Structures are given as C-alpha cells and as structure tokens.
Amino acid sequence: MWNGKKKAVTFSFDDGVKQDIRAVEIMNTYGLKGTFNLNSGYFGTLSSLERNGRTVCHDKVMPSDVKRIYQGHEVAVHTITHPNLTTLEEDAIVYQVETDRKILSDICGYEVVGMAYPCGGVNNDDRVAEIIRNNTGVKYARTITSTHNFDKQENLLRFNPSVYYVEKNLEEIVDKFLALDAVEPQLLYIWGHTYEMDAGYIEWEEFERICKKLSGQKDIFYGTNKQVLLEK
C-alpha cells in the first residue's frame, strides 16, 4: 500500500522533449507525479518528426535545464542514443544503460534507478532484463506493452504499463480505475511521449481533462514511478 492507500496513479513520458515542460505544468496544476525518461546523448539536439500528417517539434531539453524542468518529478534512463537493446551485445547494453544512468544521476543530484526501454515493437526480452539486473543500478524498467489492468507485477525489470495514453480506450480505463473499491493494491500506470499531443494523437485539452479527472481523490496516492514501484 502507498501511505495507507490501495490505489496509486503514475505517469511516464519518454525522450526528454521540450513538450515535457507544458506537460509538467499541467501535471503540477493537478497534483500528479510522473517519471521522464531521457537520452543523455541527445541533450540539446534540434529535430522534427512527421507524425499524424503534421510536422512535430522533437527538440530535446538541455542538460542545464533538467533539474528545473523536472523538479518534483523523477528522471530515469532511456539509454544514451535510443537503440533497440534486444539487438545489442551485453557490453553495449550495459554501456547504453549504465552510462546514461550515471550521467543523469550526476545532473539530477540523486541516484537514478528507473528506466523505460527505448524503441517500438519488441524492445525488451528476458536476456536484456537480466543483463540490466546484473550489471547496472537500474531497479525497474518499463516496457510498452499495455495490460489494461492495474494488478501488481513481480517482474519490475519488464514492467508493463496499464495504458499508452494515445489509445482510444484511455478514458474508459481511467473511469474503471476511479470506480474501483480496491481490496488489493491497484496501480494505474499511464505512459506516452508528450510530443504526441502536438501531433494530435491525443489533444492537450484531453490530457488536461484526464489529469483533472484523476486529481484530488482521497483514496489515491499520486507518485513517481519510483515511489509507486519501489517505495512502500
């Protein structure tokens, strides 16, 4: 349980893009917490993506801004340069994960222990998870496989989120969670990329409405990934 509560909500956003700033402001307005997974090798790079028929900014945050932007939230590993770890040898996996973790820890001033696997498709497996477990300081790592439920999971190195926030059934899942009278611990874990709101996969207004709906519930603990997965 979390501070005596059996329900918890957390968010997770990947890539460390400048749209995170607006997302953090919205989350702060409603007292929500999240974890932001950063690629230290891409800090400060300027780029754009073609998504959903739109040209979307994909500029990365500067390392000097990380502590300020993500204050009150959690920073976590997303590897140095965003490769699919399942395609790499052990030494390369350890380098991508542990070097990113150490750089981020130095920037943030605290020990970074979380991670989200980079890339789409099959981006994780048991081999990669065991390499990370045995050779890095990472204590949990999130996949991109939606469970559409809120149940406890034993394997934190291949932790599956409840829902990808661009999915059409997002609000249905949120409503189901809010209606729960939990007997066992139940976690709503929502993930995505904040630039997807500029692309219109989910509108900023919809994201804010979901945040408002989730906020202020007396039976819910609001925490970062680390707080809901590792801290009791």
- 47: domain CATH number is 3.20.20.370
Q: What pLDDT, on the 0 to 100 scale, is given for residue 232? A: 65
Q: What pLDDT, on the 0 to 100 scale, is given for residue 139? A: 98
Is 2 within a domain?
no
24 pLDDT band, cuts 50/70/90, is very high
Pairing of strands 163-164, 186-192: parallel
Token pair of 75 as six digits:
């920073």
Is 194 within a domain?
yes
Is 98 within a domain?
yes
Is 159 within a domain?
yes
Q: In whole angstroms, give the CA distance from residue 217 to residue 120.
A: 33
Mean of the per-residue pLDDT values of the chain = 97
Which pLDDT tens digit goes with each residue over 32-60? 999 999 999 999 999 999 999 999 999 99
Domain count, the chain: 1
Is 201 within a domain?
yes
| HEC secondary structure over 98-133 | HHHHHHHHHHHCCCCCCEECCCCCCCCCHHHHHHHH
H or E element that contains 195: helix 195-198
Residue 85: Cβ within 10 Å count: 23
Is 1 within a domain?
no
Which pLDDT tens digit goes with each residue over 88-109? 999 999 999 999 999 999 999 9
Domain that holds residue 216: 7-229
Among 198, 231, 227, 230, smallest CA distance to 11 is for 227
Q: What pLDDT, on the 0 to 100 scale, is given for residue 90? A: 98
